[in-house]
Structures are given as C-alpha cells and as structure tokens.
Structure 1
Amino acid sequence: MSVKVTLSPSGNQFQCHEEDTILEGAHKEGIILPFGCRSGACGSCKGKVIEGLLDRGEYQSSALNDEEIAQGYALLCCAKPISEVTIEIRQVNGMKDIQIKKLPCRVESIVKPNHDVAILKLKLPAQEKFEFLAGQYIDFLLKDGKKRSFSLANAPHETGILELHIRNYPGGSFSQYVFNELKEKTILRFEGPLGTFFLREDSDKPIVFMAGATGFAPIKGIIESARHKGITRPMTLYWGVRSKQDLYYNELVQSWVDENFNFIPVLSEPLEEDEWQGRTGLVHEAILADYPDLSDYQVYACGAPIMVESGFNTFTQTRGLPEDEFYSDPFTPSVDNKRTT
C-alpha cells in the first residue's frame, strides 16, 4: 500500500510506501529533500503539512516543539503519511548525480592538534570513485550495527582521502575509541555521502559562516572547495570556541584572509594565558552585533543545536534573513545513531 505525497511549491508528487518515512519515499523517487541526522534530532527536514494527515513518529522535542506542531510542522525523516498529503518544503538541487555508497577505508593518519580534537584522514580504495559535495557527512558502520556520523572536512577535489575532525566527547564510545585505541592502517567501513549541507552555487549573495567548535569541519570543506573553484562571493567566517587552544586550525584560516574572505574568531571563555584581545561571548551574538541587516545574505551554520537554533531565530526575526537562506547542520550527541561530530 502506498500514499500520494505532493510537495509545495514545486508541485512534485511521489508514492510513499507504508513502511517508508516521507523522506525515504522522496529519495527513492529521486526527489532530494533537506536532511541531516535522519533520526528526528536536528530539524533539518522540517516541513509544513498543508493538507492531509500523517503520523509524526518519534523525534526529539528540541527539533520539533509543540508550537511548531500546532502550526502543522513535522520532521519528514520520522513522519509517515496516513492519507494523501501536501507538504510545504523546499527541494534540494545539485545532488542529482551523487551516489550513496558503502565502502571500506584505511586510517591514513591521526593527528591531535589540541587536547580534545583528532584530525582523522582516511584512505579510500584505489579503484573506487567516491563523489561528494563539500559539507556533506559520512556514517561509520560499526560492528554492533550502530552508526556514527562525521562531517567531511576536505574538499572534493582532494581525491582519495577523506578528512574528519573528531571531538573527544566524555562518555562518547566512538570518540573514546578514536582517541585511545584506533591505530593507523585500521580498516573501517562507512556509508555516504549524506546530508544536504553544501554551498548553493546558484546564488551570488555574500555569505556568513557560523561555526561552533568542530562544526568548523564541513565549513572548512565548503570554503576550500569555493576557493578551488574560483568563487569570489564575499565570505566571512565566525568561529566560536571556548579558548584560544580550541582554534585548532587558526593558522590555516588566517592564510585564507583576502579581499573576499574575512575571519572573526570568537572566544566564549578565554583563559588568562590566552591574552586574548579579540571578540568574546557567543558566536551568534557577534554576528548580530556586526550585521544590522542580513536580508541580502546567506548564512551557513554548523555546530551545537542551541547555537544553530539561536542563530536561526535571531537572524530571521531581528535581522531580516530569509528563512530559506539559512542552511545548517546541527550536531547532536552520539546516542542511538544521532548526528555527531
């Protein structure tokens, strides 16, 4: 049994089988909708039900609150249609030829630039073609059947190698494994590329990037890819961390600064020994202070959900940023296959 789903404003339609979520049903028909965690934790796939009934499934209240439900919103990675439905959501272009694969990889190197970040580089099979868009992520496929998701930190033109930035979360089983047990030449398996966090190249609007901690990883890939392609749109990166040591790629980012790119690090808890003379506080508040009007900008945000949500709410409600020009990849704790970094 299947149910017809209509998307607005595109008018595209597809049949969604009863065992599939709306997101799964759309992807099976080659229709790409925004998504991130695929487990009801990040809110990237939020759509508004215009007509019809659906079962919203199980999700985290931080990703979909009661007020949004009352307005008709649902998370399409969890929701299943009960009747024919019409859903308002923007579709994603630019991913038509990207194939999701399951592949082995070999740990090429593990570098720890500070106390709680590991930069992992993975070597792909020599004869395997793996295409992705800068900013997407992969899922490690673990032996116990669980998955752990990490953003790709390198650009697609760097073939044969994948770069990941892994933060050492207290109690995080996979991050503890990476920091304490994982060795070079270990073989791992992953699935990808996944996610719809990537640069929309059909726009010429200036860009504000907002990164929190290792949320810098996919943004690094996006910026390096844009520079490689010769994209000259004005870009400003705000990177929010606790103290100076957390700016683990500071020298690299400083080397990007030119007439088209600006870098503003923001420390929330600078140490006395940092002798910090730069910006302090919360990263989204630094952006608010610098931009009285974001109506002609795009914002790309990656980091903790509270940072992403605060940015979206304040930028759209007080600075005129169009909701459909805010692109995000909120990281969620690594529990039950939720999105991490």
Structure 2
Amino acid sequence: MVVLDDYFFPSPLNRADGEKQIKLDSGQYYDLQIPGTEITRSYSPANISNNEGQLEFLIRLLDGGKFSSYLTQDAKLNQSIQVKGPSGVFGLKADGFTPRYFVAGGTGLAPILSMVRFMKEWGEPQPCCIYFGSTFEEEVFYAEELKQLASEMDNLTVKICVWKATDSWDGEKGSVVDILKKDLQQSSTKPDLYLCGPPGMVDATYGVCEEAGISKDKIYLEKFLPSAA
C-alpha cells in the first residue's frame, strides 16, 4: 500500500517585470519546470487570483517520479523554478443559481478548492457540496482545512468519503461514487457536476451522473494522469 504524501508547496512568484499579481481562472493549471532540466509537470493550484504572488499546489510524491525526486532530494527554500501558465479550460460555468457538486480524488482536490474558494471570495450563493474520496483513512489529507472552509461558507457541505473505512472512521463510509449516487437518488436536485481526479473515479462518477438524468452539458471534468517516472 502506498500512502499519499501530500503537502503545501507555496512560494512567491517573481516575474521578470517585478509584478506579483496572480491572475487565473479557478480550475486552470501551471507547468512547473525542474531546475537545470527541460522536464516539466502540470499542477493545478488550490489558490485563487491574488496580489501576493502566491501559488499553492497539492503534490503527491511518487516513488521514482521525476518531480517527486526533485522535491524530496533537491528542492530548497527560496529556490527559483520556471512556472508557465495558467492554461486549461476546466473551471466554473455560469448557470444561474443551480447547485454545484464537486467530486475530487487525490490531488484532484486542488482545482476544486480553487473553484470553491472563488465562490467564497465573490459571495456566490449557489448551494455546493465537495465530495472528496480516498481508499483508506490514512490517505485522507486537508481534512481540517476543508472543515474550516465549510464553517466559513453557509452554502457549502463537505463529505470526506473513505471506501475501505474502519469502524472508527467518523466520515462518510463508501466510495465517493457510491455516496454521490445515493445522494442523487434521494434528491430531485439536478446540480452542475465538477469532477477531477484519477480516470477511473472520473469515468465512474460520470456514469452515475448520466444515470441520474444529469445532462452531459452540465458535467465538467478533468482527469489527472500520472507522469512516467
């Protein structure tokens, strides 16, 4: 069993023109280049646009991974790396007051966080729910931050779902796909769905949404594919 080893990797972005303002549409991604190489990896930030030059990434450390090896062996405080972006079209869509459900697995949580934080920043009133799934309890991360975010947003519900949970787990027990399916079956709500995570989870969730009668044009998704070692 591989335990997720996710953590913050925030740093100020110093542009050539001295400007530190970060402009992005929540859900987009950046390409980060390993210093001294041509190797890049794409990561979505968990933050929103800001004037401090801050980018916050949730990065899973993989055995033998190029960027993982750089982080664990060579990265240093105040080290400069090349950052290119933002890129991508995954993000919030204007749809009146339709509820929004966000489904995330692993580090797919990052763009979801950015979107929900954008809703908080701008006071968007749509009811929303984050479904965050893990296989085992020890793989769960960012739980306290999610709870804090929910306490600050009257319109946000957070469901942390553990597929192979023990009796001591006090969150949702079951896969994120099954728990979402149950909620959709028990409600007449037809929310907009935002899906981000491993391909298997995204595909299964997409199928559940279709079964629930949610139109394809109301389902927005991005799959996180592991890079080759």
Q: How does 1:63-212 map to 2 (within 5 A)?
A: 116-125=5-14, 126-142=18-34, 143-157=36-50, 159-212=52-105
Match for residue 193 of structure 2? 299
Match of 2:169 among 266, 276, 287: 276
More strand, by proportion = 1
More helix, by proportion = 2
TM-score (norm 1): 0.60
RMSD of aligned residue pairs (Cα, Å) = 2.1
Q: 1:129 to 1:155 in 2, by over 3 A?
A: closer
Aligned mates of 2:20, 2:51 — CA distance in 1: 14
The one-letter code matched in structure 2 to 1:327 is Y
Q: Which has the higher contact order (CA 8 A, sep 6+)?
A: 2
> In the TM superposition, what is the alpha-carbon distance from 1:159 to its structure 2 partner?
3.5
Gaps of 5+ in 2: none
Q: Would you identify which runs of 4 or more consecutive aligned residues in structure 1 move more than 6 Å? A: none
The one-letter code matched in structure 2 to 1:262 is T
Conserved? CA contact 1:294–1:315, under 8 Å: no
Match for residue 264 of structure 1? 159
Aligned mates of 1:281, 1:213 — CA distance in 2: 15
Gaps of 5+ in 1: 1-113, 337-341
Asked which structure has the greater CA Rg, the reply is: 1
Residue 254 in 1 paired to residue 143 in 2? no
TM-score (norm 2): 0.87
> In the TM superposition, what is the alpha-carbon distance from 1:158 to its structure 2 partner?
5.7
SS of 1:183's partner is coil
Q: How many equivalent pairs are there?
A: 220
Q: 1:282 to 1:212 in 2, by over 3 A?
A: same
